[in-house]
């Protein structure tokens, strides 16, 4: 996960030897257009997308556009089931809140920022100094440009980079295949290979007539980017060069062995337990009707993705003996540290501090269960929290603030209740509140649990039923009536609002105790990583992912997942006929796709072997946030869209294993075939620059 600004120094020679024909300047430049100008952070980095036309046409994953597709869907216009294609520009659908962010430049500002920072400085003083200088750097870089500027830390705050960006907010939905293509295989195939999923959707970036970012307006025009990616129809071959540019979200590859154990035994196990209970309830509701399926499709997908990820990560960490490998690194590090007194003085206590921070797990268990079972459990508590500013205004008696807060809350009602089922949320609340009560230390139990114990005899389902009957936050009409004449007394008596406040009070207590057990942890991590990098100073290293632009390079290839098995590097449309099960929730397929397959109507998108390739694997290094990233060949042409990692290497966020870790990509020819042959949206193909 290399910083693009450093590839000229660290990587380009090796990249060229592997088949990359580009210069470092053609990949990342601040003086001329380059590949980086065609790659954007989608929604502040939740996904990645790429420009593929001079008129701002944008390509990303289907699951990255899933929320927008779901929001635009209804029983009458079920775009999840049937797909959506704008046949004219005026048919493209606006999406309030969606954004794309371009990287203008990145700059190493470490020396400037740490000029007056010393190793013996108190952590609080150090942090204050870093914030002060960062703010100054950001302000000076921003000037009158209208750009956004932000200083980000790397290598556990041993390095600092300034990132200058520009964000556009008028992003319109152009096209998406039906879910039976865009999510073919569903939860069953998630994180798995072989895959046959057409995981893509299309948007367009709009701007003001002067080319600057602007909120949605009918007067806005398509954005003309500095650069857009040409698209290759040549296909891919085994061992051919492939690189991915994008915005990977978060990796923790410098974490120690005991921190990995904590991730496995606490973070992942709690996520699995809580989400399994929640997903079972939502799954049952979604099966009741088309409306229910549409309402909860996006919520289910968001929750289930990292539920399955956590299962796979734990399996991968065990199978690859990551804890053992981390312990070996720590032994080598300690031996190196103890060779010289000055090293021992500088780095000697770092590992002990980190280990001691994870001796106590009670408050950490409570924190994770609070995140998953309370804050991330029933939706009603997070919705009730949106009334906090109104409550403060009512308490203060400020009529202007009361009106403002009421109006703000009122504006969110339609959107919230459109995709909300109170009965389902009530079931989630009952199950997860009970789960929390059985799993954490009693000192971290919210105050309202006592009422459940006394008044409702410990029956959380009965408590949840009563709360949902009485609260205003589970009923649209009650909410609207309350906001006509809001009162502090009404919120003080509302069971959901009272429970929400109790939950946040408990979270505050947990956070305070967390702070006590992790004193010095950030400093110890910084010192440990600084020591590792000094120990390995002859080796080129990259920082953990943090939602800033990165480049990863490698080759297209298959892999051996386990003994006596080899997975080839590509799949074909034949897989739909082999896997497809008509009407199945995961493996349903469009009849038109099967008809086109039997007719062998592949057009210019067929491979030289005569088949239509659907997906392929490469050994590129990706993680969450890379979804939708362009996969680019040695000529700088788009060959695919990254959309997943493989099950056998779910440990990759903690320890990269190049022999087994694979990036799963949609073949760009399958994307174009779906747009052209399946959807009949050839006008979109005409916008692109195709390389044959």
Clarify whether 618 is annotated catalytic: no
Any catalytic annotation for residue 77?
A: no
For this structure, is 199 an active site residue?
yes
Look at the chain and count its residues. Answer: 692
3-state secondary structure (DSSP) of residue 177: coil
Burial 273-308 (b: 16+ CB within 10 A, else e): bbbebbbebbeebbeeeeebbbbbbbbbbebbbebb
Nearest to 417 by CA among 481, 480, 494, 495: 480
5, 34, 63, 667: the catalytic one is: 63
**DSSP per-residue string spanning 662-692:** -EEEEEHHHHHHIIIIIT--HHHHTTS-EE-
Please give the backbone phi and psi of residue 164, each rounded to the nearest 5 degrees, phi first.
Answer: -110, 125
CA–CA separation, 575 vs 589, rounded Å? 11
In the numeric block, the tokens 């990949």 are attached to 27
Beta-bridge partners for 644: 664
Q: Which of 662, 528, 678, 639 is nearest to 230 (CA)?
A: 639
How far is residue 673's CA from residue 602's CA, in Å, rounded to a whole number?
A: 7
Q: What is the dihedral of CA 305, 306, 309, 314, to 10 degrees?
A: -160
The enclosing H or E element of 620 equals: none
- Which pairs with CB-CB distance under 8 Å and at least 24 residues apart come from 159-162? 159/108, 159/110, 159/543, 160/108, 160/109, 160/110, 160/113, 160/114, 160/130, 160/134, 161/3, 161/106, 161/107, 161/108, 161/109, 161/110, 161/548, 162/106, 162/107, 162/109, 162/137, 162/138
Q: How far apart are CA 484 and CA 403, in angstroms?
A: 10
From the candidates 43, 78, 189, 199, which is the catalytic residue?
A: 199
Extended strands (E) in 573-637: 613-618, 630-632
As a three-state string, the secondary structure of 36-49 is HHHEEEEHHHCEEE
690, 231 Cβ separation under 8 angstroms? yes
CB-based contacts of 482, cutoff 8 Å, min separation 6:
472, 490
Catalytic residue among 502, 627, 629, 651: 627
Check: CB of residue 41 under 8 Å from CB of residue 48. Answer: yes
d(CA 395, CA 490): 12
Q: Catalytic positions, please?
A: 63, 199, 627
């Amino acid at each position: 996960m290399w910083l693009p600004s450093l590839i000229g120094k660290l990587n380009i020679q090796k990249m060229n030897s592997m088949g990359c024909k580009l210069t470092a300047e053609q990949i990342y430049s601040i003086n001329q257009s380059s590949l980086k100008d065609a790659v954007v952070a989608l929604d502040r980095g939740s996904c990645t997308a790429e420009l593929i036309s001079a008129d701002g046409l944008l390509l990303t994953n289907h699951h990255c556009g899933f929320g927008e597709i779901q929001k635009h869907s209804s029983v009458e216009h079920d775009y999840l089931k049937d797909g959506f294609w704008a046949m004219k520009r005026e048919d493209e659908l606006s999406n309030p809140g969606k954004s794309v962010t371009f990287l203008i430049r990145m700059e190493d500002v470490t020396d400037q920022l740490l000029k007056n920072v010393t190793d013996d400085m108190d952590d609080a003083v150090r942090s204050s100094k870093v914030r002060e200088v960062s703010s100054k750097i950001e302000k000076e870089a921003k000037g009158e440009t209208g750009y956004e500027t932000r200083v980000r830390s790397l290598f556990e705050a041993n390095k600092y980079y300034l990132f200058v960006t520009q964000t556009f907010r008028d992003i319109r939905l152009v096209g998406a295949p039906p879910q039976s293509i865009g999510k073919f295989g569903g939860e069953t195939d998630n994180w798995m290979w072989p895959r046959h999923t057409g995981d893509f959707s299309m948007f367009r970036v709009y701007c003001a007539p002067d080319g600057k970012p602007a909120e949605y307006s009918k007067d806005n025009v398509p954005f003309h980017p500095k650069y857009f990616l040409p698209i290759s129809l040549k296909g891919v071959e085994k061992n051919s060069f492939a690189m991915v540019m994008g915005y990977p979200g978060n990796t923790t590859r410098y974490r120690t062995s005991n921190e990995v154990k904590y991730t496995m035994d606490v973070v992942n196990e709690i996520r699995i337990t809580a989400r399994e209970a929640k997903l079972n309830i939502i799954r049952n509701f979604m099966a009741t009707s088309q409306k229910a399926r549409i309402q909860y499709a996006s919520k289910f997908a968001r929750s289930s993705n990292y539920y399955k990820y956590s299962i796979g990560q734990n399996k991968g960490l065990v199978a690859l003996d990551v804890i053992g490998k981390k312990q070996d690194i720590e032994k080598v590090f300690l031996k190196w540290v103890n060779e010289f007194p000055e090293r021992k003085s500088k780095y000697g206590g770092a590992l002990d501090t980190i280990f001691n921070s994870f001796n106590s797990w009670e408050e950490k268990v409570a924190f994770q269960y609070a995140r998953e079972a309370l804050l991330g459990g029933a939706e009603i508590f997070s919705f009730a929290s949106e009334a906090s500013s109104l409550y403060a205004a009512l308490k203060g008696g400020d009529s202007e603030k009361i009106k403002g807060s009421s109006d703000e809350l009122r504006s969110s009602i339609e959107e919230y209740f459109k995709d909300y089922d109170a009965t389902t949320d009530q079931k989630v609340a009952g199950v997860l509140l009970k789960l929390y009560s059985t799993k954490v230390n009693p000192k971290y139990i919210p105050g309202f649990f006592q009422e459940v114990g006394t008044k409702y005899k410990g029956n959380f389902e009965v408590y949840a039923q009563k709360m949902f009957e009485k609260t205003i936050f589970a009923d649209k009409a009650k909410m609207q009536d309350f906001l006509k004449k809001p009162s502090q007394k009404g919120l003080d008596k509302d069971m959901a609002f009272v429970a929400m406040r109790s939950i946040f009070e408990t979270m505050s207590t947990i956070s305070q105790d967390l702070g006590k057990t992790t004193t010095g942890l950030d400093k110890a991590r910084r010192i440990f990583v600084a020591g590792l990098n000094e120990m390995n100073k002859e080796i080129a290293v990259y920082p953990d992912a943090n939602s800033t632009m990165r480049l990863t390079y490698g080759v297209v290839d298959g892999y051996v997942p386990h003994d006596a098995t080899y997975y080839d590097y590509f799949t074909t449309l034949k897989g739909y006929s082999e896997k497809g099960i008509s009407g199945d929730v995961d493996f349903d397929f469009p009849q038109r796709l099967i008809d086109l397959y039997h007719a062998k109507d592949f057009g210019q998108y067929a491979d030289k072997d005569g088949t239509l390739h659907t997906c392929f694997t490469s050994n590129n290094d990706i993680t969450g946030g890379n979804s939708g990233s362009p996969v680019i060949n040695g000529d700088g042409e788009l060959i695919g869209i990254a959309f997943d990692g493989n099950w056998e290497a779910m440990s990759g966020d903690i320890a990269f294993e190049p022999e087994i870790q694979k990036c799963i990509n949609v073949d760009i020819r399958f994307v174009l075939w779906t747009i052209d042959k399946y959807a009949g949206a050839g006008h979109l193909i005409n916008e692109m620059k195709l390389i044959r």
